[in-house]
Homo-oligomer: A and B are copies of this chain.
Amino acid sequence: MRIAVLGTGMVGRAIAARLAELGHEVVMGTRDATATRAGDWTDWATAHPQVGLAGYADATTDAELVVNATSGDGSLPALTAAGEENLAGKVLLDIANPLDFGNGFPPTLSVLNDDSLAERIQRAFPRTRVVKALNTLTADLMTHPRQLADGDHSVFVSGDDPEAKKLVSELLTSFGHTDVIDLGDITTARGTEMLLPIWLRLYGRLGTPLFNLKVIR
Contact = CB atoms under 8 A, between A and B. Distances in A.
A191 interface: yes
Contacts of A181: 202, 205
A45 interface: no
A46 to B, nearest CB: 33
Nearest to A213: B213
Given A112-B113, A114-B108, A195-B195, A211 B201 contact: no
B216 A216 contact: no
Contact of A201 (B153, B191, B199, B205): B191
Interface centre among A103, A191, A213 (most CB of B within 10 A): A191
Contacts of A199: 191
A162 to B, nearest CB: 14
Interface string A88-119: 00000000000000010000110011100000
Interface string A144-162: 0000110011001000000
6 contacts: A112-B113, A191-B197, A191-B200, A191-B201, A194-B198, A213-B214
Interface in A180-213: 181-184, 188, 190-192, 194-195, 197-202, 204-206, 208, 210-213
A31 to B, nearest CB: 29
A119 to B, nearest CB: 13
Given A112-B112, A183-B201, A198-B194, A217 B213 contact: no
A160 to B, nearest CB: 14
Contacts of A35: none
A215 interface: yes
A197 B190 contact: yes
Contact of A205 (B103, B183, B194): B183
A215 to B, nearest CB: 6
Nearest to A205: B183
A82 B217 CA distance: 37
B211 A214 contact: no
Contacts of A156: 198
